Amino acid sequence: MSTTASVGTASAEGGGGGDVAPPSATASADTPMTGADGVPEGTSPDKPASPPGAVATTTAASTGKDAASAATFLFASESVTESHPDKLCDVISDAIVDACLTLDPASRIACETVCKTGVVIVLGEITTSASINYEQVIRDAVRDAGYDDPAKGLDYKTCNVIVALEEQSPDIAQSVDAAKVEDIGAGDSCIVFGYACEETPEFMPLSHVLATKLSARLAEVRKDGTLDWIRPDGKTQVTLEYANNESGVPVPKRVHSIVISAQHSEEVSNDKIAADLMEHVVKPVVPSQYLDESTLYHMNPSGRFVIGGPHSDAGLTGRKSNVDTYGGWGSYGGGALSGKDATKTDRSGAYAARWVAKSLVANGYCARCKVQLSYAIGLSHPMSVYICTYGTCTNKNGMAERDLVKMV
């Protein structure tokens, strides 16, 4: 099983109803952002609230619809391909996690990666009984990400690999390790968030799901040869027009705009790039009912994206937090989700919070849900549990919002 960094999935199989088994540190996850308490100013956690940024309501000029602009708001989510420099670093860090846990499930791992032109640096703390050829693991991950030529921004065969790993601090180890799994302490103090909503079968925001699927499609058409001009690096952004229903729940109405930036070979024309991306990326992913004559499309708006990957931008583990979580919805605790074993609760705790939020929505206790958990280093149970249903608690089985906290 490969380790993935996201807290939720962007496929239908990630959203089954009913209780969902909590994912392990080698499963997947997702997350969002708002203010310190995750609730826009002037609102209460117990009352319906538009997502952060909703005050920047669209105007008639931006939508062409006076009435719609007064009653709706725009919200955008972005994603990146698996080979974007930051995401490449996530992939490398998690490849090392997988290699260690495969041979020694008790490994303790905190692994960061940075990459730039011709170089990949891995640093952190790892305690394991496994014998790992870290350089080979790193080169294999770079190869699988599609970087096999300096012209693409990095070459797995010739890049310089620097490994600077030490053992985990014994001070941390003595506070975490325990004879029983249930007694293992948190590897660090942190706060984490989980989020879920009814917008999609995955119980994820539609803006986030569409952006994520578009980025995944960019990688797919590169790997299967559908678009021979496409290179590994890429980014997507989807802006949706939402309207709150009578219960105050944001409901997606239409796609306002789609932005795709795809790294490409030297010889391909901008017209072909735009046509190919529309035909082979946008159309297979975005449901036609959300597209209309006013939807805006920006395909490679910079006009040129030949230089990409680590050659264009340095990459760093954990720098695509909203991509890994909820596309800007809900809240985000601040810790990276990649390069860590399950004792690092800013990763495993984020997965658990997502599992709780998803289970509450899937079982009909609310239409939207945000869960916050806090952890203290060395302690095996959360310090606090907070649940916000944005005023959508259904009181199923007589359970009000405060009762959901007790149930959790």
Q: Which of the residues 344, 354, 358, 370 is marked catalytic?
A: 344
Give the model confidence (pLDDT) of 349-395 as tens digits: 999 999 999 999 999 999 999 999 999 988 888 999 999 999 999 99
Give the model confidence (pLDDT) of 11-38 as tens digits: 333 333 344 343 333 333 343 333 334 4
Interatomic CA distance for residues 303 and 31, integer angstroms: 31
Inter-axis angle of helices 134-144 and 85-103, nearest 10 = 130
H helices of 110-205, where? 134-144, 170-176
Q: Is 313 a catalytic residue?
A: yes
The pLDDT, as a whole number, for residue 205 is: 97
Q: Is 84 a catalytic residue?
A: yes
Q: Which of the residues 37, 46, 98, 125 is marked catalytic?
A: 125
Q: Is 344 a catalytic residue?
A: yes
H helices of 104-154, where? 134-144
Q: Which of the residues 30, 78, 82, 86 is marked catalytic?
A: 86
The chain-wide mean pLDDT, for the chain, equals 85
Interatomic CA distance for residues 92 and 122, integer angstroms: 9
Q: Is 199 a catalytic residue?
A: no
Interatomic CA distance for residues 32 and 53, integer angstroms: 13
Q: Is 340 a catalytic residue?
A: yes
Q: Which of the residues 152, 235, 358, 368 is marked catalytic?
A: 235
- Which phi and psi angles does 114 have, rounded to 5°? -130, 140
Contacts of 138 (CB under 8 A, 6+ apart): 92, 95, 96, 113, 120, 122, 161, 163
Q: Is 305 a catalytic residue?
A: yes
Residue 130, pLDDT > 50, answer yes
Q: Is 125 a catalytic residue?
A: yes
pTM of structure? 0.82
Q: Which of the residues 196, 346, 362, 367 is marked catalytic?
A: 346
Question: 350 in the Ramachandran plot: left (φ > 0), alpha (ψ -120 to 50) or beta?
Answer: alpha
The pLDDT, as a whole number, for residue 177 is: 75
Give the model confidence (pLDDT) of 328-348 as tens digits: 999 989 899 999 999 999 999
Q: Which two tokens stand for residue 142?
A: 């770079």
- Which phi and psi angles does 369 have, rounded to 5°? -155, 135
* Mean pLDDT to the nearest integer, 34-48: 40
Interatomic CA distance for residues 89 and 94, integer angstroms: 9
Give the model confidence (pLDDT) of 280-290 as tens digits: 999 999 999 99
Give the model confidence (pLDDT) of 131-142 as tens digits: 999 999 999 999
The pLDDT, as a whole number, for residue 70 is: 55
Contacts of 300 (CB under 8 A, 6+ apart): 260, 261, 262, 264, 270, 273, 274, 277
Dihedral of the alpha carbons of 255, 259, 260, 265, in degrees to the nearest 10: 140
Interatomic CA distance for residues 52 and 40, integer angstroms: 6
Q: Is 171 a catalytic residue?
A: no
Q: Is 54 a catalytic residue?
A: no
Residue 47, pLDDT > 60, answer no
Give the model confidence (pLDDT) of 191-249 as tens digits: 999 999 999 999 999 999 999 999 999 999 999 999 999 999 999 999 999 999 988 89
Q: Is 235 a catalytic residue?
A: yes
Q: 8: pLDDT confidence band, cut at 50, 70 and 90? A: low
